[in-house]
């Protein structure tokens, strides 16, 4: 198939020149001559014409394999990926360390070719962890407790730059021609899904929203009121100081929904949030739009944040300003927020040469809610791994509790659903020491005929169960509305 996109023709030319020349021979020689089979994968990065990674994923269509999406529009950064070449899976208390060890080993087996001198021209491992150390529930079966995939192709868009990386497994004794054709076929496929000139656009029926706040399910409501009352009793009895309780909202689906339509709605409505999708094998998709960064890494620099304490948005500028003022002066919310910062400091400071943050919180405004927010910058000590940092940070008291060890066992006792990957670290990491993880809140697990949405809030001594119920309803709105938009 010949490309109708002349710029992609240049991409293919460039690919042919690089991969059919020395590099491919060299890689195959290395693979077959190395007795320890040092290299098992061959990977190639190339700059391609600017493309929308979400449109490419949508064009890639439904498929039974791995699919991944990540975008923060306000950072002009997006990743789309599909196909699984290799996957590492871990479970138990050591899952973060094991993921780090296995990830390093996997990356060391990749022979990477590129004429680009750019930190994003690299193989990426995409995935995350479950909230608890073990993830054995039926609902979340595909996800495991720690899972990172080396995708067959990944598109990374950073501002105007779009980089495509294709990776293939190279069995020992591989034939150069077969391998070359395999790469070229994938490149042809990418050409077709990135070429907007060839897209067939489905008519979308006009949309009328029927979603406001979820109606009251009296059983869920009574459970919630009882759980929050039990939590405040435990706090008064000095068992812990804060706990985050969440609830699940199940929605049955009459018609199927499109993951990419959900994402398109989320990224447009919440440009300051991270919209994400992870589907391990096409059976179910974990999708969300979270405002909360757990950590981003660039060499030894780490950015994290405290995000806790919430209030709704005003309908007018004045009402919004009043609500913001109320939140900034609410002792209950300031306490809830302070626990998060204290924990980040306790867990990260001793691993860092630099640790800094503003003295008092500011505000992060989303279209449905505003939060108390404190950005934190740290420079981790030499030798501290990124996954070690994640394991220290997760779960922050914005989704777990304070003190962590005292509060955590009560989460499963007081909640009535399986958290799975809700409120857990989800993200990406590359071979150049870069990566970013979010806290997977404002999210849902989508299966063929049902969706489960999750929302929670921090409970402190003076929390009011009714107000916390209302707050969870506010937090369900983005995903519920996105679902309405995505019905086919």
Ligand X SMILES: C=C(O[C@H]1C=CC=C(C(=O)O)[C@@H]1O)C(=O)O
- Spatial separation of the C-alpha atoms in residues 402 and 406, rounded to whole Å: 7
- Spatial separation of the C-alpha atoms in residues 323 and 471, rounded to whole Å: 14
Contact of 485 with 207, CB cutoff 8 Å: yes
Beta carbon nearer to ligand X, 194 or 246: 246
Beta carbon nearer to ligand X, 44 or 274: 274
Beta carbon nearer to ligand X, 8 or 274: 274
Residue 426 β-bridge partners: 128, 438
- Spatial separation of the C-alpha atoms in residues 157 and 136, rounded to whole Å: 35
Contact of 220 with 251, CB cutoff 8 Å: no
Q: Phi and psi dihedrals of 104, rounded to 5? A: -60, -45
CA of 278: how far to CAs of 90, 168, 253, 286, 444, in Å? Answer: 17, 21, 20, 5, 11
- Spatial separation of the C-alpha atoms in residues 113 and 42, rounded to whole Å: 8
Minimum distance from residue 468 beta carbon to ligand X (Å): 8
Contact of 236 with 250, CB cutoff 8 Å: no
For ligand X, the binding residues (CB under 6 A) are 244, 246, 292, 307-310, 371, 398-399, 423, 441-442, 455-458, 475
- Spatial separation of the C-alpha atoms in residues 125 and 437, rounded to whole Å: 12
Minimum distance from residue 65 beta carbon to ligand X (Å): 29
Minimum distance from residue 420 beta carbon to ligand X (Å): 13
The three-state (H, E, C) secondary structure of 353-375, written as one string: EEEECCCCCEEEECCCEEEEEEE
Minimum distance from residue 459 beta carbon to ligand X (Å): 8
- Spatial separation of the C-alpha atoms in residues 231 and 240, rounded to whole Å: 9
Return the C-alpha torsion angle 289, 291, 294, 299, nearest 10: 90
Minimum distance from residue 398 beta carbon to ligand X (Å): 4
CA angle 94, 98, 101 (to 5 degrees): 150
Minimum distance from residue 423 beta carbon to ligand X (Å): 6
Minimum distance from residue 265 beta carbon to ligand X (Å): 18
Beta carbon nearer to ligand X, 285 or 374: 374
- Spatial separation of the C-alpha atoms in residues 488 and 261, rounded to whole Å: 9
Beta carbon nearer to ligand X, 151 or 306: 306
Minimum distance from residue 485 beta carbon to ligand X (Å): 20
Minimum distance from residue 268 beta carbon to ligand X (Å): 20
Which regions of 340-431 does DSSP assign to beta strands (E)?
Answer: 352-356, 362-365, 369-380, 401-402, 425-430
CA angle 188, 193, 194 (to 5 degrees): 95
Minimum distance from residue 250 beta carbon to ligand X (Å): 16
Beta carbon nearer to ligand X, 258 or 330: 330
Minimum distance from residue 280 beta carbon to ligand X (Å): 22
Which residues are CB-contacts of 414 (< 8 A; sequence separation ≥ 6)? Answer: 227, 230, 231, 243, 245
Beta carbon nearer to ligand X, 133 or 470: 470
Q: Which helix (H) or strand (E) holds 278?
A: strand 274-279
Angle between helices 53-60 and 176-194 (to 10 degrees): 110
């Amino acid at each position: 198939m010949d490309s109708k996109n002349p710029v992609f023709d240049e991409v293919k030319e460039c690919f042919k020149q690089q991969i059919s020349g020395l590099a491919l021979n060299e890689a195959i020689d290395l693979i077959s001559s190395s007795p320890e089979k040092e290299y098992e994968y061959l990977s190639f990065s190339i700059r391609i014409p600017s493309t929308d990674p979400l449109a490419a994923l949508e064009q890639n269509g439904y498929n039974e394999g791995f699919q991944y999406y990540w975008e923060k529009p306000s950072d002009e950064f997006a990743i789309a990926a599909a196909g699984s070449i290799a996957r590492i899976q871990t479970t138990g208390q050591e899952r973060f360390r094991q993921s780090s060890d296995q990830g390093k080993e996997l990356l060391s087996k990749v022979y990477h070719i590129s004429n680009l001198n750019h930190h994003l021209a690299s193989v990426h491992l995409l995935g995350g962890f479950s909230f608890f150390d073990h993830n054995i529930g039926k609902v979340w079966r595909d996800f495991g407790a720690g899972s990172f995939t080396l995708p067959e192709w990944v598109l990374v868009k950073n501002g105007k730059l779009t980089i495509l990386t294709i990776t293939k497994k190279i069995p020992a004794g591989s034939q150069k021609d077969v391998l070359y054709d395999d790469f070229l076929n994938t490149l042809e496929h990418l050409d077709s899904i990135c070429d907007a000139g060839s897209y067939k656009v489905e008519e979308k029926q006009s949309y009328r929203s029927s979603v406001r706040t979820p109606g009251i399910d009296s059983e869920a409501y009574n459970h919630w009121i009882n759980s929050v009352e039990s939590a405040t009793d435990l706090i008064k009895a000095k068992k812990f100081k804060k706990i985050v309780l969440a609830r699940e909202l199940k929605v049955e689906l009459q018609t199927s929904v499109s993951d990419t339509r959900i994402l398109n709605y989320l990224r447009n409505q919440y440009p300051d949030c991270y919209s994400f999708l992870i589907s391990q094998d096409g059976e179910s998709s974990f999708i969300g739009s979270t405002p909360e960064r757990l950590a981003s890494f660039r060499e030894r620099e780490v950015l994290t944040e405290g995000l806790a304490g919430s209030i709704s948005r005003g309908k007018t500028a004045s009402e919004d300003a009043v609500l913001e003022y109320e939140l900034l002066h609410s002792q209950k919310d300031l306490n809830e927020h302070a626990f998060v910062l204290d924990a980040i400091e306790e867990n990260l400071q001793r691993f860092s040469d630099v640790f800094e943050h503003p003295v008092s919180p500011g505000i992060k405004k989303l279209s449905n809610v505003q939060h108390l927010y404190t950005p934190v910058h740290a420079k981790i000590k030499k030798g501290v791994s990124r996954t070690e940092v994640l394991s220290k940070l997760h779960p922050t008291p914005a989704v777990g509790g304070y003190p962590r060890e005292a509060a955590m066992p009560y989460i499963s006792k007081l909640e009535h659903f399986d958290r799975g990957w809700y409120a857990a670290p989800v993200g990406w990491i590359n071979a150049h020491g870069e990566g970013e993880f979010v806290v997977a809140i404002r999210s849902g697990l989508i299966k063929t005929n049902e969706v489960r949405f999750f929302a929670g809030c921090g409970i402190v001594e003076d929390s009011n169960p009714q107000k916390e119920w209302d707050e969870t309803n506010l937090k369900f709105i983005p995903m519920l509305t996105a679902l309405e938009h995505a019905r086919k």
